[in-house]
Structure 1
Amino acid sequence: MWTLIQVYAKNLCAFKLLDYKLLQKHTTLIFGNNMDNDSQGSNGSGKSAMLEAIAIGITGETLRKIKMDEIINDAENEAIVSLLLLNTATGQRLTIQRIISRKAAQVIKVFVCANETEDNEVCIEQASVADYNKFILETLGLTKEDIFSNFILSKHKYLSFLSSSDREKKEIINRFSNGVIVDESIIALQEDMVPIQELLKQAELSVANHTGRVETLQEQINTAITESTERSQKKAERIANWNKAIADKRNHIREQNILINKANEILDQYDKTDKVLQKLENGKKDAKECFEIISEHFASHTLPLPRNFAAISIKNQKELEVVAKEYAEVQKQLTQHDKKIVIAKDSYGKLLKQYEKFQEDFDKKSTKAEEKINMLLSSVNKLETDNSRLRTQRVQLEADIADLQKQLAGVIVCPKCQHEFTLANDIDINDVKLKLQDRKGESQDILNSIETNERSIAEITAEGRKARQEQDRLNNCKIEWSTKITETCTALDELSRGASSLANKMQALQNQMNILQKSIEGVRVNLFDDAYAILDEAIQRQESEIKRAELNINNANGAIQSYEESIHDIENASETDMIETLKANKKKYEKELTLAISQKENVEQKLNSYKEQEATFIEFKTHLANTKIDALSHITNEFLEAIGSDIRIAFSGFTVLKSGKIRDKISISIIRDGVDCGSFDKFSEGEKARVNLANILAMHKLTNINCDDNKGLDLLILDEILEATDEQGLSNIFDALNQLQITSLVVSHGNIAENYPYKTVVNKLNGISFIDA
């Protein structure tokens, strides 16, 4: 894209010398200071001369309606204008120099440099000033109309798109959408269709003529056979009957001509009605008034009335209010739900943190309890194993004791000396007693150990029971926490599902409101679409009546010719010859009829193929136009939002009627708070200025988008276009322009805060304009 870097001028208007570098990607406010006349303020300081230099440099034309030599300083004979442009995508430099003289033709020099860092400029040679102008505009990828409509906007040349006529709007949209190319194709196609349509008309008339002849000949053959058999009529009577049939056919032709004349009269009335519709559509009357006038006209011509879209709009407006109220209520519920969800999420988060702490404590205590239980179980197992071992030992000792006791059971005591002995000589009684005493001692020790172990097991079991209880308590606490978290999560899920349900309901209500709003916004467009569709259908009906009458006339003419030929034949031939002649003529005309039908079908087929192409072109043109109209509407509303306006614009694009005709009326509705506020011109100048600026920015963006790759112009100049805007409005506008990073120059007489950072002051002293350094 090209951007303007520097403006140089010498002896231009009140400037002796102008050398100005534009601040890129910012909006510069240009003030004036006429120090020669304090009463003039900023007027007459030379602000517009800067813009004249840019306009002349690019297009070769002045902004004001003056002769070219009138921009030369009064004290000089020639002026120089030079512009330096840079292509930010390719790095190319474009230098334009113009020398404007009072006595000689304009001299232009154009230099192109392939790279901004190099000095190898190429001088472009062209045959004439017009060729230079064409080369410059083609290099930028723009037209002169683009420049003065979307880039350099002065009150002397600028006409708002929103206030322009329907024809001008369509020209602009067609230029954006390349619809002009499609129009050329449609016109060429329609021109090719004209001779084919004439051929089809002649073919249809030929078919009707031959059909009438064949049908009449068949009737005559049937009559001649009957009369020949019955001999009930004389030749004179038959001729008289045919003459009467001829008279009847001629009367039928007169009736059909009357019908055609009547249909033409009705078509004339419909044509007047169509003009009334066009005048109404281009007027300022609202939908209700339009419907009343249309109804009166349609009723006077016995046409069905269009739907009362005004009444439908009122009904839809009431329904919209109900739906909007319900939407607000659901929105309120959703807000409350969202607050509950926030609280619930907060509580759930806190609960999770508490649970994390509990889980950490639980893991420690549970591990400790598990370790203790395992330790106690190990101790019990160890004691049980020890007891088992001791019991085994005790059993063995008890067996030993029993055996020793058995040995001592056979002891004999001497009465005299008390000596103890047994019959077994190998037993030492004292030794056995000692062993028995030892065994009993050992057994008692083992029994004591077992009892001690049993007591220890009981104590450990009691301690283990307490550990188990603590473990169960911990597990129960965990279950309680899990239940609490599950319940909280379920409650949160229910709230989320409720919010989702309310959001879905809101979306459904929003969609319903959008449909109702679209119906309300398009009430006037829909009314005229319906009215045109009814009128087109009525016109087609009358045209069909005329076509049918013309075919009937041709059919009757064919019958008359057959009757006249038959009269001639009967007067000059015998009865038998007459019948044969009639049959021969019928066969001849049947062949001609077959050929005529075949030719008609061929012509119809060719015409239908052309009509299919035409329908495709129309559909494609409608698609292209509506795409650009939708884009223009969308971008305009984006900019309106960006500059803080509560106004929105709705464009109605091209529509295809039931008849297949395209209605390319571009209608504009101004919407505020969802309500159609009427035509653009009824708004205050300040409001119109904001809407115009949004539309200017949209057109500026679309124009650049529509350019070829690496072409377009990053420049927007507004010369007193925003004068009706107040200080706050201008502040919002400049903020938006700076955010968009468009290199802009805005000429203003004030209304902007003194602390605005990007300003250029044009002073005028002793008749000479200059810019503060």
Structure 2
Amino acid sequence: MWRLDTVFAQNLCAFQQLDYKLLQGHTTLIFGNNMDNDSQGSNGSGKSAMLEAIAIGITGETLRKIKMEEIINDAADTACIKLTMSNDSSNECMEITRELSRKSAQVIKISMGTKGEILTNIEQATVADYNKFILETLGLTKDDIFANFILSKHKYLSFLSSSDRDKKEIINRFSNGVMVDESIAALQNDMSPVQTELQNAETNVAVLNGKVDTLEEQINNAITESTEQSQKKAERIANWRNAITEKRAYIRAQTEESEAINNLLDQLDKQDEQLQDLEQSAKNIEECYQLITKQYAELGLSTLQDYVTLSVDNQKKLLSLEQEYKHVQKQLTACNKKLEASQESFDKLKNRYAKFNNEYDKKTDKIQNSLNKLLESIKTLEQTNDDLKKQRAQLDKDIAQLQSQLAGVIVCPQCQYEFTLRGDVNIEEAKLKLQDRQGEVQDILQTISSNEQEIATYSVKAKETRKTQTELAESKAEWSSQITEAQTQLDQLTRETSATNNRLHDLQDQTNALQKSIETARTRLFDEAYEVLDDAIKQHEGRLKQVQINIDNANGAIQSYEESIRDIEHASETNMIESLKASKVKYQKELALAISNKEQIEQKLNALKVQESIFVEFKTHLANTKIDALSHITNEFLEAIGSDIRIAFSGFTVLKSGKIRDKISISLLRDGIDCGSFDKFSEGEKARVNLANILAMHKLTNVTCDDDKGLDLLILDEILEATDEQGLANIFDALNQLQITALVVSHGNIAESYPYKTVVNKLNGVSYIND
């Protein structure tokens, strides 16, 4: 069986790049996180884009009813999708690459080969041929994919809610009933000449029966008349001629009845053609019902079930939906125009902001460099002043010491000689040093004063520079505010447009569902109409056959009367009776041979009918086997997911007429008691039953595939939204126990502790997956 290993995509919807590896044998829950719009929660995050990549990769067809180019990211002209698949049983792998473009046709590349070896490119003539090759490799059809493997609310129609015709087509596909139908058609072609041969043989028997019965009557009359001698030859001939006249009148009456029946059958055939034309027309169910009822009344056919009420209700709902759809469509057009204008304005603003940012960076660097230089200069001057102050402190100490030394100088009053009591002090040298030190202090004070003036100047300049820097930062903040405001407005318009678009899709889905309901009711109307018409045709054809036998019988009687008249005209009474007896013996022998021939032909035809019956019974057996299997597997899954509901299907049966009654009806049981039709149940209960049936169909489809084929993949896109948290937990537990590789898109409703989750985020219009 094949499995999907990885999904890679570029420029697909909101994804610039998607690279996802599937977790095999587990059910992965896919959440959304739309960070661009908190009000939308998980909506619009890009969850469905992952599924689109898988659907397009396998089938070449989108899940939603959109053009292929609409899948491409708005900012790109091309997109790429690449799927890698592998098959453990056949040890094969396959790569599917699709290049999508707005301006050119799709390009497909398929590579296949043995695992671990170089893959070989597969060449096909057209895109359709590539798509066919992929599906044939998987052993599936496109209908199989979208009905049993990739289930989206945009395409999925529940088997349980589908029409009887759709159910029969699905069952026939499972049971290979189509092949049996082909065999039955070939057998009916063989039966056609045998039926014609039998009809001729029956005509011959009827004619001979008429002759023998008439001769028997003539012989009895001749014997009676001869014994009583009450009737002359002329009277007998006259009686026979009267009998011939009566038979001819009877033949005319039967012929008229035959013509009337043929005319009626012609009318019924025309009615069948009209019914087919009407079925193919665009007339609604009410118009069809009124026309059919009127035509059937004129033909004296049985009345049909009343479909008008249903039609009126559905048409009213459909009309309301169509009006709302047009209104929302106008809203979407207006939203798109606003969004386009806002995007254009935002782009211009971004361009201006980019230019400002470029200048801003340059100006910021220049201002910061200037400020750094000023601060460095101030720091240097301050450091110089600190050093000078330290020098001054030392000089002050020296001055104080010198002054202390000089304070003890004694002056001789007589000679004015200066001396100290300490003999080691040179007073003149000390005075000179004191003078030098005091001079140095004055120089330092002047330098410090000059430096402080420079520091003050630099500080003023630094303050002015910081002011310029602040003004520039404020400009940037103002620009950022404008960008944020414009982005918010654009996001709001985007959300409004997305919401309107989603509403439009919802209305389209509702319209499609309602249209499907109308079409189903219409189909039921025509099914019943054909059934009534077929019954009437069969009844009148049977009567026509009997009328023809009556005519053949009367013609045989006339031939016998005419032969008797010829015999009596040329024979005596005794000879005439003997001649009648001889003719009777002759015709009895011919009749015996004719009956024997008819019986042989009947045996041959019956043998063919037995074969047809066997084929019909075999088709019924195949269908019922699949129906029983579907019922059994569905109930197994219902039990596995914790539901107390069980399902019962009524299968195909063969009627006494040999026709198949292939009406498939469904009953839901609880504790063995019939609870009514499927549509009677709540949405949550129906979701569980639907899932069980989905799993059963998924399993049956894979089982029906040839060896090494099938697909281990189940995708459910918002199919289980009506199920509560506990129900989902039971469902996921059952899926994981079955080891089915499944992807389930959900808006929540599941415990946070569930281990297998993938979150699709969307930020600034770009979707991505958390590692």
Q: TM-score range by the shorter chain?
A: 0.5 to 0.7
Match of 2:43 in 1: 43
Q: Which amino acid aligns with 2:60?
A: G
> What residue in structure 1 maps to residue 561 of structure 2?
563
Q: Deviations over 1:447-469 (max 9, x none)?
A: xxxxxxxxxxxxxxxxxxxxxxx
Structure 2 runs not aligned, ≥5 long? 276-299, 303-530
Alignment correspondent of 1:748: 746
Using a 3 Å threshold, how does the CA distance of structure 1 residues 536 and 671 change in structure 2: closer, same or farther?
farther
Structure 2 equivalent of residue 70 of structure 1: 70
Aligned equivalents of 1:701 and 1:74: distance in 2?
39
Residues in 2 aligned to 1:584 and 1:675: alpha-carbon distance in whole angstroms: 74
Cα deviation for residue 213 of structure 1 reads 1.3
Deviation digits for residues 15-35 of structure 1, max 9, x if unmatched?
111110001111111111112
Aligned position for 1:700? 698
Corresponding residue SS for 2:100: strand
Of residues 760, 763, 770, the one that matches 2:761 is 763
Q: Which residue of 2 aligns with 1:710?
A: 708
Q: Does 1:220 align with 2:179?
A: no
State the alpha-carbon separation in 2 of the partners of residues 166 and 191 from structure 1: 28
- Deviations for 1:220-265, whole angstroms, at most 9, x for unmatched residues? 3554566567754333311221133234435655787899889999
Report the equivalent of 1:503: none
User: Is the Cα contact below 8 Å between 1:263 and 1:545 reproduced in 2?
Assistant: no
Rounded to whole Å, the distance in 2 between the matches of 1:674 and 1:639 is 17
In structure 2, distance between residues paired with 1:67 and 1:750: 30
Q: 1:85 aligns to what?
A: 85
SS of 1:81's equivalent in the other structure is: strand
2:157 to 156, 159, 178: 159
Is this contact kept in 1: 2:261–2:540, CA < 8 A? no
Structure 2 contact 261–544 (Cα < 8 Å) conserved: no
Partner of 2:235 in structure 1? 237
CA distance in 1, matches of 2:262, 2:665: 33
2:625 to 605, 624, 627: 627
Q: Any idea what SS the aligned residue of 1:608 has?
A: helix
Picking from 166, 169, 178, the partner of 1:168 is 166
Which residue in the other structure is 1:601 paired with? 599
Q: Aligned pair in 2 of structure 1 residues 538, 658: CA closer, same or farther (>3 Å)?
A: farther
3-state SS, counterpart of residue 767 of structure 2: strand
Match of 1:645 in 2: 643
What CA deviation, in whole Å up to 9, does each residue of 1:69-122 have, x standing for no partner?
2211122222111100010212210111111122222111111121x2x23211
Amino acid at match of 1:177: S
Is contact 2:301–2:536 with CA below 8 Å preserved after alignment? no
Do residues 96 (structure 1) and 96 (structure 2) align?
A: yes
Which range moves more in the overlay, 75-84 or 231-240?
231-240
Corresponding residue SS for 2:4:
strand
Q: How far apart in 2 are the matches of 1:134 and 1:597?
A: 57
For the residue of structure 1 that corresponds to 2:626, the secondary structure is helix
Q: Give, in angstroms, the shift of residue 166 of structure 1.
A: 0.8
2:613 corresponds in structure 1 to: 615
> Superposition pairs for residues 123-162 of structure 1, below 5 Å?
123-162=121-160
Name 1:345's counterpart in structure 2.
Answer: none
What residue in structure 1 maps to residue 117 of structure 2? 119
Q: What TM-score does the superposition give when structure 1 sets the normalisation length?
A: 0.61
Report the aligned-residue RMSD: 3.5
% identity of equivalent residues: 74
Tell me what 1:677 maps to. Answer: 675
Match of 1:686 in 2: 684
CA contact (8 A) 1:536 1:659 kept: no
Counterparts of 1:221 and 1:645 in 2: how far apart (Å)? 83
Could you say if the C-alpha distance between residues 129 and 216 of structure 1 is closer, same or farther in structure 2, counting changes exceeding 3 Å? Answer: same
Q: Deviations over 1:373-427 (max 9, x none)?
A: xxxxxxxxxxxxxxxxxxxxxxxxxxxxxxxxxxxxxxxxxxxxxxxxxxxxxxx
Q: What aligned pairs does 1:236-635 form with structure 2 within 5 A after superposition? A: 236-250=234-248, 547-548=545-546, 550-567=548-565, 570=568, 582=580, 586=584, 589-590=587-588, 592-635=590-633
Aligned counterparts of 2:722 and 2:255: Cα–Cα separation in 1: 64
Q: CA deviation at 1:605?
A: 1.4
* 1:436 corresponds to: none
Deviation of 1:61 (Å): 0.7
- CA displacement at 1:740 relative to structure 2: 0.9
SS at match of 1:79: strand
**Matches of 1:102 and 1:634 in 2, distance apart?**
48
Gaps of 5+ in 1: 276-299, 303-532
Question: Secondary structure of the residue that 1:161 maps to in structure 2?
Answer: coil
In structure 1, C-alpha distance between the alignment counterparts of 2:743 and 2:751, rounded to whole Å:
17
Report how far residue 542 of structure 1 moved: 8.8
How far apart in 2 are the matches of 1:102 and 1:591?
Answer: 85
Q: Whole-Å Cα distance in 1 between the matches of residues 248 and 668 of structure 2?
A: 61
Amino acid at match of 2:661: R
Describe the SS at the equivalent of 1:736.
helix
Indicate conservation of the 8 Å contact 1:669/1:676, yes or no: yes
Q: Aligned residue for 1:347? A: none
Contact 1:154 1:718 in 2 (8 A): yes
1:81 and 1:98 in contact (8 A); partners too: yes
Instruction: Determine if the alignment matches structure 1 residue 14 to structure 2 residue 11.
Output: no
Residue 109 of structure 2 corresponds to: 109
Q: Secondary structure at the match of 1:627?
A: helix
> Counterpart of 1:249 in 2: which secondary structure?
helix
CA distance in 2, matches of 1:587, 1:648: 71
So what's the TM-score if we normalise by structure 2? 0.61
Taking the aligned partners of 2:711 and 2:737, their CA distance within structure 1 comes to 18
Matched, 1:730 2:733: no
